[in-house]
Amino acid sequence: MSQTNSDRRKFIKNTTALSGMLLFGGMSNKIKAATIAVPAPMKVYPNRIKFAVININHSHIYSMTEAIKRGGGELVALYAKEPELVADYLKKFPEAKLVKSENEILDDPSIQLVLSSGIPDERAPLGIRVMQHGKDYLTDKPGAISLAQLAEVKKVQKETKRIYSILYSERFENKATIKASELVKSGVIGNVIQTVNLAPHRINNGKRPDWFYDKKRFGGILTDIGAHQFDQFLHFTGTTEAEILMSQTGNVHYPQYPNFEDFGDVMLKGNGGTGYIRVDWFTPDGLDTWGDGRLTILGTDGYIEVRKNTDIASGNKGGNQLYMANKKEMLHIDCNNQELPFGRLFIDDVLNRTDTAMTQAHCFLATQLALTAQKLAKPLVLKK
């Protein structure tokens, strides 16, 4: 490493606790490098609706529950088949009443919303039953694992006028990504041209249930993990129509699981911009988090990079680190105090029959793109 690079790293490290603008020596005052801590405490709103949970096969249900509670949801009931999963969930959320059947929740008129993180192939059929019982539905991704499932979901949603939503947590539950949304909306990087999403995950091999390795249950890697990335592409580019230019998937490292996929990537374009997506199950054991998720947003006047979960290139700990450069300045923003508004906005939508948290059209289009990319994917075979 050169002395110049070493000095710069020391400078950045020494300024991480400061807020406001700091100038690099010798630079024009139009070019600024700053570390800004966002002073926005997490808010909790009083109980405004009653909600219940059905099926908890993925741990995302914990952050989903927390999001809705922050927004004003009162958790009243739980139904799940697996005793060990139930026991863990009730330790965290003891206020939930454990019921004996799904119908006890669906037939309760006081419950307005149902959450689920069931096995992926069971999420869409459950959501259809929830809507047919006059309730709104919030599911973990993927919200459907086939285009046929999605078509039936869209049909019933149109008939019932209920909300069928998916908590794309890599956007809604990541504070730096929320801050990136605010910056893009303000126009500081101009018009967005492209998003690049890199989304590695840790496989935790040997600790996963059988359905995790069965493509018929989880839908494929682009359907599953990729759902997050298609959501972000649509959101940041403002795209309302898009097509898949290239997609490929493969199982390059786990021959013992022939129905599994451990790598996938996609190129796509829309009427608002272009995108590249890479998803995989190759987070190394030495990393301090489940995945070094990165989002780069390229604009006509600058760019933003979000380091979602960790930042191995600096001393900034805990993820939620945002970097921006435009025509006027360079910024680093520690976003760990950023408010997460999804729960509040989603409950507003349940109460007011609006779609401020995420439009229904956006939710379905992100899912459709993921499913289409999965269907069109060419097999990736690496010869060593």
161: domain CATH number is: 3.40.50.720
pTM: predicted TM-score of the whole model, two decimal places: 0.89
Looking at the fold, whether 30 and 55 belong to one and the same domain comes out as: no
In-domain check, residue 367 = no
**Residues 158 and 79 both lie in one domain:** yes
Task: Tell me what pLDDT residue 38 has.
Answer: 55
Q: Do 63 and 162 sit in the same domain of this protein?
A: yes
CB-count exposure of residue 239 (10 Å: 0-12, 13-18, 19+): buried
Q: How would you classify the pairing of strands 242-250 and 263-270?
A: antiparallel
The structure tokens listed for 365 are 């289009």
In a domain, 9, yes or no: yes
Helix 60-70 with 342-352: angle, nearest 10 deg: 70
- pLDDT computed for residue 241 by the predictor: 98
The pLDDT assigned to 223 comes to: 98
20 with 89, same domain: the answer is no
What pLDDT was estimated at residue 40? 55
pLDDT tens digits for 222-263?
999 999 999 999 999 999 999 999 999 999 999 999 999 999
Q: For position 29, what pLDDT does the model report?
A: 36
- Is residue 90 domain-resident? yes
**Number of domains forming the structure of the chain:** 2
* Structure confidence at residue 317 (pLDDT): 73
- Domain-embedded: residue 343: no
Residue 360 belongs to some domain of the structure = no
Does the residue 126 lie in any domain?
Answer: yes
Same-domain status, 67 and 162: yes
Residue 110 and residue 33 share a domain: no
| Same domain (yes/no): 159, 72 | yes
Q: Is residue 99 part of a domain?
A: yes
| CA dist., res. 16 & res. 25, Å (int) | 17
| Judgement on whether residues 85 and 134 belong to the same structural domain of the protein | yes
| Token couple for 336 | 């760990």
Do 22 and 57 share a domain, yes or no? no
Q: Which residue in 369, 349, 367, 370 sits closest to 163, CA to CA?
A: 349
CA dist., res. 205 & res. 207, Å (int): 5
For the chain, which ranges sit under pLDDT 70?
Answer: 1-42
Range of the domain at 11: 3-37
Same domain, yes or no, for 58 and 164? yes
Collapsing DSSP to helix, strand or coil, 78 comes out as strand
